[in-house]
Amino acid sequence: MKKRFGVLKLLATILKVLGVVVAAFAVLGGLGTLIISLAGGDLMAAFGVDSGSGIFMGLVGSLGIVVFGFLYAIILYGYGELLLVLLSMEDNTYKTVKLLEDVIKDE
């Protein structure tokens, strides 16, 4: 039987890989923001934040980057899995139709 929907399977794999990559970048971005905030008030002052609240803003920013990055990664990975589930449902439906056609031919 000919393999069908090769592009959708490729797209599902790409979405799942992108989900993992986005999660990794979210962690790296969160760590980078945390390190920048802990580096000193002068660096955060360049972004317009006063020296006293630089560490707090860095903690909040890094937590936000990690949380929203993981949410986006889960959504991407979930769309990839959704495509695979839908393709699996289509394949099972196709097999059922073929089986029923064979049963009808036998009768």
Cβ–Cβ under 8 Å, residues 88 and 41: no
86 falls within a domain: yes
Q: What is the pTM of this model?
A: 0.79
Give the model confidence (pLDDT) of 8-35 as tens digits.
Answer: 999 999 999 999 999 999 999 999 988 8
For residue 57, the enclosing domain spans: 7-106
The total of structural domains in the chain comes to: 1
> What is the residue-wise DSSP string for 16-65?
HHHHHHHHHHHHHHHHHHHHHHHH-HHHHHTTT--GGGHHHHHHHHHHHH
> Looking at the domain assignment, is residue 67 inside a domain?
yes
Look at residue 2 and tell me if it is in a domain.
Answer: no
For residue 35, what are the CA distances in angstroms to 9, 10, 54, 57, 68?
A: 39, 37, 11, 12, 19
Assigned domain for 28 exists: yes
Q: Decide if 24 is inside a domain.
A: yes
Work out the average pLDDT over 69-73: 97
Residue 65 has what pLDDT? 95
